[in-house]
Amino acid sequence: MLGAFIALIVTFVPLGANALWPIPRSLQTGTTLLKLASSFDIKISVTNPPQDLVDAVSRTKGFIQNDKLQRLVVGRGANDSAALGSAPTLPGLTISLLNNNAPRAIATEAVQAIGTRSEGYSLTVPTDGTSAILTANSTLGLFRGLTTFEQLWYDSAGVTYSYQAPVKIVNDIPAFPYRGFMLDTARNFFPVADIKRTLDAMSWVKINTFHWHIVDSQSFPLDVPGFPEIASKGAYSSTEIYSPANIQDIVSYAAARGVDVMMEIDTPGHTAIIANSHPEHIACNQASPWTDFANEPPAGQLRLASAATTNFTASLISAIAQALPSKLFSTGGDELNTNCYAKDSQTQADLKSSGKTLEQALSTFTQATHKSLTDLGKTPVVWEEMVLEHTVTLPKDTVVMVWISSQHAASVASKNFRIVHAPSNYFYLDCGAGEWLGNDPTGNSWCDPFKTWQKSYTFDPFAGLSTAQRSLVLGGQQLLWAEQSSPENIDSIVWPRAASSAEIFWTGATLPDGTARNVGSALPRLHDIRYRMVRRGVRAIALQPHWCALRPGVCDLRA
């Protein structure tokens, strides 16, 4: 228990008008009850609207009709029932574009180059009997606005209503262009349905990038055109493979929900599984003890000093990347084990023959794989070691993911590379579950402790950076490495924790009222989106006892 020396705050903190996640950067609300007309509809005032916008509107109407979420207050809003009889009615919502350009599909807008997407919107919900108005410069912006509008509505005895009208949001635009979530599907396999459900939840909180760490040393579940043998010999089973049709299905599904799919093929490390089909390309395959040759079993990594392996890898990456619409593609580059290459006779012979050092060979290898991407108009993404631990020549527009520690962002920025924050000390969702390696009864996960939503919510994207370096920060993401995750627990381990960073990188440091982002005002809103996720079929874990969720502030600590 908490102990006698800790008291509980017993004053009620009203849930207020801000049950939105992420909270818009501009928000004015009232306290008037507003109910939806029985004939409520959403009108698309767009000439020749793309089908995915029509579908998005249909989903919004479905959520409004079916969420039936009661207010998170004592009595669940029963006290509103009497007043609802005379409450004003909202007849509809009209959505329109601000420009006269031919509308592009949401899916087209969602995969534009990072920093060029138009995601902003404005929303007005009046109480005078006229329709609500949602406007944006793009269909993607309209979609973001729809996800906000959906969160305004609650149920009382079958009446759909809002308790915070009127609502006015003016030019709600994201603070950062990259707001991501990473899923590892190599340690354990996740069926398409689980990925789609995750994409749905991402879209509800305006996360716009799915970083797909699709393969690793343990399995290669990706069927690559021209390289079918890698998956056939590298997947866990024939039923645990993502076919080209699966990939296109997921990519299209994501894009229609405003999510760009950035795939990662981690090289030259984390590639042992390729030895099952191409042993000639893998050094120290299955070497023992694995701890001498890799960060986790099995050992094995690409023979980066081999011209044949370099060409093979570049061709493989090109074959994968050319089928993806995203402008971003990650080649990884983390946790390179130099002892593996020191003990590999073929690598040593290749180095001697070429007259190169290992670092020079790594640079040649990386330049080749990155050229295969830039030739396709893609921007390479790498883990931080490629900048901080190796002397590798990288394209100037390379995006660097900072993962080992948030403190390393300043070092990456000093080299003038763009940054995506993915620090293990804030955003690793797998931490704190105990050791997954066997025969270690007292072991804990390497990145202990468990990363609470409160911890991640306190993250400062500009910590340690100069004012001039702030423009290098593209945003950030939470990550799920799947050694201890599978379809059975993905919802509960990701949600609603991953939503914490969604607000950091959409709303920024300051709330609409000018105060600093803080866990106190965030918790009631995070409860709200969590309960709404559950209503929509996502098994998001509870943040507190239900009693606390209905009494905002009462379960807060006071020393």
Residue 17 has a pLDDT of 42
Closest CA to 180 of 20, 381, 441, 471: 381
Q: Which residues contact 29 (CB under 8 A, 6 or more apart)?
A: 17, 18, 164, 165, 166, 167, 168
Query: Would you list the DSSP string of 231-263?
Result: HHHHSSSTTS-B-HHHHHHHHHHHHTTT-EEEE
Residue 101 has a pLDDT of 76
Question: Torsions phi, psi of 292, nearest 5?
Answer: -85, -15
Distance in angstroms between the alpha carbons of the first and the last residue of the chain:
15
Using the predicted structure, report yes or no on whether residue 7 has a pLDDT greater than 80: no
Which residue numbers are catalytic?
Answer: 335
Closest CA to 437 of 334, 547, 289: 289
The band of 278, judged by pLDDT with boundaries at 50, 70 and 90, is very high
Closest CA to 199 of 210, 213, 189: 210
Mean pLDDT of 65-70: 97
Residue 1 has a pLDDT of 37
Residue 518 has a pLDDT of 96
The band of 268, judged by pLDDT with boundaries at 50, 70 and 90, is very high
Using the predicted structure, report yes or no on whether residue 210 has a pLDDT greater than 50: yes
> Tens digits of per-residue pLDDT, 382-420?
999 999 999 999 999 999 999 999 999 999 999 999 999
Residue 99 has a pLDDT of 85
Residue 558 has a pLDDT of 82
> Tens digits of per-residue pLDDT, 122-169?
999 999 999 999 999 999 999 999 999 999 999 999 999 999 999 999
Distance CA 447, CA 480 (A): 13
Mean pLDDT of 457-480: 98
Q: Which domains does the chain have, with CATH numbers?
A: 28-172 (3.30.379.10), 178-508 (3.20.20.80)
3-state secondary structure of 28: strand
Using the predicted structure, report yes or no on whether residue 13 has a pLDDT greater than 90: no
Distance CA 469, CA 414 (A): 8
> Tens digits of per-residue pLDDT, 420-434?
999 999 999 999 999
Distance CA 496, CA 518 (A): 16
* CB of 65 closer than 8 Å to CB of 14: no
Largest CA distance in the chain: 86
Using the predicted structure, report yes or no on whether residue 14 has a pLDDT greater than 50: no
Mean pLDDT of 463-471: 98
Using the predicted structure, report yes or no on whether residue 228 has a pLDDT greater than 60: yes
3-state secondary structure of 97: strand
Q: What is the DSSP letter of 274?
A: G
Angle (nearest 5°) at CA 115 between 124 and 370: 155
Using the predicted structure, report yes or no on whether residue 559 has a pLDDT greater than 70: no
Helices (H) and strands (E) in the chain, counts: 19, 18
Distance CA 393, CA 320 (A): 23
**What's the helix, strand, coil split of the chain in %, to 5?**
35, 20, 45
Q: Which residues contact 221 (CB under 8 A, 6 or more apart)?
A: 185, 186, 189, 214, 215, 231, 234, 235, 236, 240, 241, 242
Mean pLDDT of 30-40: 97
Residue 102 has a pLDDT of 86
Using the predicted structure, report yes or no on whether residue 16 has a pLDDT greater than 90: no
Using the predicted structure, report yes or no on whether residue 361 has a pLDDT greater than 90: yes
Please report where in the chains the tokens 């403190």 appear, as a residue.
Answer: 407
Mean pLDDT of 530-554: 97
Mean pLDDT of 211-226: 98
The rounded percent of the chain whose pLDDT value lies above 70 is: 97
The rounded percent of the chain whose pLDDT value lies above 90 is: 95
Using the predicted structure, report yes or no on whether residue 335 has a pLDDT greater than 80: yes
- Partnered with residue 94 across adjacent β-strands are 43, 133
Distance CA 303, CA 349 (A): 11
* CB of 419 closer than 8 Å to CB of 484: no
Residue 11 has a pLDDT of 29
Residue 311 has a pLDDT of 98
Distance CA 98, CA 121 (A): 10
Mean pLDDT of 343-360: 98
**Structure tokens that stand for 453 in this block:** 């939503």
* CB of 401 closer than 8 Å to CB of 422: yes
The band of 100, judged by pLDDT with boundaries at 50, 70 and 90, is confident
Mean pLDDT of 223-230: 98
